[in-house]
Amino acid sequence: MKRSDFNAVSTGALNKQLTVATLFVLAVFGILILRLWFLQIVSGSTYRTKSESNRIHLQDILPFRGMIFDRKGEMLVGNRPSYDLYVIPEGVQDRGQLVRELNWLTGIELKQIERKFDEASPKYPFKPVCLKKDISRGELAVIETQRFNLPGVMIKIKPQRYYVFKTLASHLLGYLGEINEVQLKSGQYPANKQGDLIGKSGVEWKWQSFLNGIRGGEQVEVDAAGRKLRVISKKRSIPGANVYLTIDKALQSIAEKALTENKGAIVALDPNNGKILALASSPFFDPNLFVGGIDKRTWQKIISSKEYPLQNRALTGQYPPGSVFKLIVAIAGLAEGVIDPEEELVCKGVYTLGRQKYRCWKKYGHGKVNFHKALVESCDVYFYKIGKRLGVDKIASYAKAFGLGKTSGFDIGQEEPGLIPTSQWKLKRFGIKWQAGETISTSIGQSFVLVTPIQMANLMSAVFNGGILYRPQVTERAGKNGTEKFYEFSPTAKKVKIKDEYLELVRSALIGVVNEPGGTGSRARLKDITVAGKTGTAQVVSLKKVKDLENNDEIPYRFRDHAWFIAVAPADKPRIALAIIVEHSGHGGKVAAPIAKKMIKCYLGVRR
Partner 1 sequence: MFDRRLIQHFDWILLLILLLLAGISILNLYSATYAVRDIGGSQIFIKQVYWYLIGFAVFFFMTTFNYNVLEQLAYPAYFVTIALLVAVLLVGKVTSGSQRWLSFGPISFQPSELIKIAIVMVLARFYSRRGGHQGYRLRELWQPFLLIMIPCILILKEPDLGTALLLVAASFCVILFSRVNWKSLVILVVLALSVAPFVWHQLKDYQKTRILTFIRPDMDPLGSGYHINQSKIAIGSGQFWGKGFLKGTQTRLNFLPEQHTDFAFSVLGEEWGFIGSVSLLLLYLFLILWGLNIAKTSKDKLGAIMAVGIVAFIFWQVVINVGMVIGLLPVVGIPLVLFSYGGSSLITTMAATGLLMNISMRRFMFST
129-132 and 75-87 strand pairing: antiparallel
Positions of E strands within 171-296: 176-178, 197-199, 216-222, 228-235, 243-245, 264-269, 276-282
497 binds partner 1, rule: CB under 8 A = no
Q: Indicate the residue among 51 and 298 with the shorter CB distance to partner 1.
A: 51
How far is 212 from 47, CA to CA, in rounded Å?
38
Q: Indicate the residue among 225 and 549 with the shorter CB distance to partner 1.
A: 225
CB of 115 to partner 1, least distance (A): 21
CB of 231 to partner 1, least distance (A): 15
Please list every residue from 45 through 64 that binds partner 1, using CB under 8 A: 45-48, 50-52, 54-55
The H or E element spanning position 359 is strand 356-359
Scanning 146-295, the segments in alpha helix (DSSP H) are 170-173, 181-186, 202-206, 208-212, 249-259
28 binds partner 1, rule: CB under 8 A = yes
Contact 242, 107 (CB under 8 A): no
Q: Indicate the residue among 12 and 556 with the shorter CB distance to partner 1.
A: 12
CB of 125 to partner 1, least distance (A): 12
Contact 566, 579 (CB under 8 A): yes
501 binds partner 1, rule: CB under 8 A = no
Known catalytic membership, residue 304: no
Q: Calculate the alpha carbon distances from 130 to 87, 108, 136 in Å.
A: 7, 12, 15
5 binds partner 1, rule: CB under 8 A = yes
How far is 139 from 151, CA to CA, in rounded Å?
17
243-245 and 68-69 strand pairing: parallel
> Is the torsion defined by CA of 534, 537, 539, 540 positive or negative?
positive
> Which position among 229, 427, 541, 549 is part of the footprint of partner 1 (CB under 8 A)?
229
Q: Would you say how long the chain is, in residues?
A: 608
Please list every residue from 119 through 148 that binds partner 1, using CB under 8 A: 123
From 31-39, 106-114, 430-438, 508-516, span contacting partner 1 (CB under 8 A): 31-39
> Which position among 6, 104, 430, 559 is part of the footprint of partner 1 (CB under 8 A)?
6
Q: Indicate the residue among 13 and 541 with the shorter CB distance to partner 1.
A: 13
Binding mask of the shown chain, residues 189 to 228, with x at each position contacting partner 1 by CB under 8 A? --------------------------------xxxxx---
- CB neighbourhood size of 534 (10 A): 35
CB of 147 to partner 1, least distance (A): 24
DSSP-derived secondary structure for 469-489? EEPPB-EEEEE-TTSSSEEE-
The count of residues interacting with partner 1 (CB under 8 A) is 45
Q: Indicate the residue among 18 and 427 with the shorter CB distance to partner 1.
A: 18
Q: Which residue in 209, 323, 378, 461 is the catalytic one?
A: 323
Q: Which amino acid is at 356?
A: Q
Q: Indicate the residue among 51 and 424 with the shorter CB distance to partner 1.
A: 51
Active site residues: 323
Q: Which residues bind partner 1 (CB under 8 A)?
A: 1, 3, 5-6, 8-10, 13-15, 17-18, 21-22, 25-26, 28-29, 31-33, 35-37, 39-41, 43-48, 50-52, 54-55, 123, 221-225, 229
